[in-house]
C-alpha cells in the first residue's frame, strides 16, 4: 500500500489521538508495512477512536461528539437524493404510492435536521468565530461553501430541458463527482475549524444537545429510507444507500449517547 494512502488513514484519527499517539502509531506502521490488513486495522482504530474517545478532558470529548455527529449527518443525508433518484426516477412498475410519501418524509426530516444543525452552527459562530476574528478558523469553511454554490448552479443548468447527448451525460457525471467532493468538503471544513478553535465545554454544551436532536432525525431518516427501499424492491445500489444512512446514524448515536451519559445528564 502506498505511503499517501497510509498518511490519509492516519489523518482520519481524531486530533487528540494524533497528538498523543500519532508518532508512535506512524512508527509502528513503518515497521509493519502498509498492507491491506494494516489499512483495515487503521480504519477500525480511527472509527473506534472517534466513537469511544478515551478522554479525561470534557472539552475534547464534546469536540469529538460534535465532529462525529456533523460528519455522520453529511454522510447520512447524502443518501437521500440518491435513493430519491433510484426509487422514483422513474419508479419501478408496481411501486406503491407509499414509497413516494416516504421519500417526501425523508426530505422533510432532512430539512428539519439542517435547521437544527444550522442553529448549532450559528451558536458556535456567534460564540467562537465572531469573538476570535481569526482568519484561520474561516479558511477551512470556504471550499465547502464554494463547491456548494457551484453544485447549485450546475443543478439549475442540468434541470433545464436538454437533449440526451454526450455533452449532457458528461455534465451529469461532472456534477455527480462535484457533489461527492462537496459532501467531503462540507463535512471536513467545520471539523478542522472546531479543532483549531478548541472552544470551552460551556460553549459546546448547547450545540451538543442540538447534536442529540440531529442524531434523532438522522435515525428517523435511516428508518424511513430503509422502509421505502424495502417496499420499492431491494437492489444492491439501494441497499448500499440504506446502509450508508444506517451506519452514519449508528455512529452518531453511539458518540452522542456516550457524551450525554458522561457529562450532560
Q: What is the pLDDT of residues 185-217, one digit of tens each?
A: 888 888 888 888 888 888 888 999 999 999 999
13 and 83 housed in the same domain: no
11 and 115 housed in the same domain: no
119 and 174 housed in the same domain: yes
The total number of structural domains that make up the chain: 2
Structure confidence at residue 232 (pLDDT): 83
65 and 46 housed in the same domain: no
Q: How many CB atoms lie within 10 A of CB 198?
A: 12
For 152-192, the three-class secondary structure string (H helix, E strand, C coil) is: HHHHHHHHCCCCCCHHHHHHHHHHHHHHHHHHHHHHHHHHH
Structural domain range at position 42: 1-51
Residue that terminates a domain, selected from 10, 26, 51: 51
pLDDT-based confidence at 63, cuts 50/70/90?
confident
Res. 98: pLDDT tops 80:
yes
Res. 7: pLDDT tops 80:
no
pTM: 0.76
- Rounded Cα distance between 37 and 58, Å, is 33
67 and 41 housed in the same domain: no
Coil, strand or helix at 52: coil
Residue among 15, 79, 104 at smallest CA distance from 249: 79
98 and 154 housed in the same domain: yes
pLDDT-based confidence at 82, cuts 50/70/90?
confident
112 and 160 housed in the same domain: yes
40 and 70 housed in the same domain: no
83 and 22 housed in the same domain: no
pLDDT-based confidence at 162, cuts 50/70/90?
low
Residue that terminates a domain, selected from 12, 28, 51: 51
Amino acid at each position: 500500500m502506498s505511503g499517501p494512502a497510509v498518511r490519509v488513514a492516519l489523518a482520519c484519527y481524531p486530533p487528540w489521538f494524533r497528538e498523543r499517539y500519532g508518532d508512535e502509531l506512524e512508527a509502528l506502521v513503518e515497521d509493519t508495512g502498509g498492507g491491506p490488513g494494516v489499512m483495515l486495522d487503521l480504519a477500525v482504530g480511527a472509527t473506534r477512536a472517534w466513537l469511544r474517545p478515551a478522554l479525561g478532558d470534557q472539552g475534547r470529548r464534546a469536540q469529538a461528539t460534535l465532529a462525529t455527529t456533523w460528519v455522520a449527518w453529511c454522510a447520512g443525508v447524502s443518501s437521500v437524493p440518491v435513493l430519491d433518484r433510484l426509487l422514483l426516477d422513474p419508479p419501478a412498475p408496481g411501486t406503491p404510492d407509499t414509497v413516494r410519501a416516504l421519500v417526501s418524509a425523508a426530505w422533510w426530516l432532512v430539512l428539519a435536521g439542517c435547521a437544527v444543525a444550522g442553529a448549532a452552527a450559528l451558536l458556535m459562530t456567534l460564540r467562537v468565530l465572531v469573538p476570535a476574528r481569526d482568519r484561520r478558523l474561516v479558511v477551512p469553511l470556504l471550499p465547502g461553501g464554494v463547491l456548494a454554490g457551484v453544485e447549485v448552479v450546475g443543478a439549475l443548468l442540468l434541470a433545464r430541458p436538454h437533449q440526451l447527448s454526450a455533452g449532457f451525460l458528461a455534465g451529469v457525471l461532472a456534477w455527480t463527482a462535484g457533489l461527492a467532493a462537496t459532501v467531503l468538503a462540507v463535512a471536513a471544513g467545520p471539523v478542522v475549524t472546531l479543532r483549531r478553535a478548541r472552544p470551552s465545554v460551556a460553549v459546546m454544551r448547547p450545540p451538543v444537545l442540538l447534536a442529540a436532536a440531529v442524531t434523532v432525525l438522522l435515525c428517523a431518516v435511516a428508518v424511513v429510507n430503509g422502509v421505502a427501499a424495502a417496499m420499492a424492491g431491494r437492489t444492491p445500489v439501494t441497499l448500499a444507500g440504506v446502509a450508508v444512512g444506517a451506519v452514519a446514524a449508528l455512529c452518531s448515536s453511539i458518540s452522542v449517547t456516550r457524551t450525554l451519559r458522561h457529562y450532560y445528564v
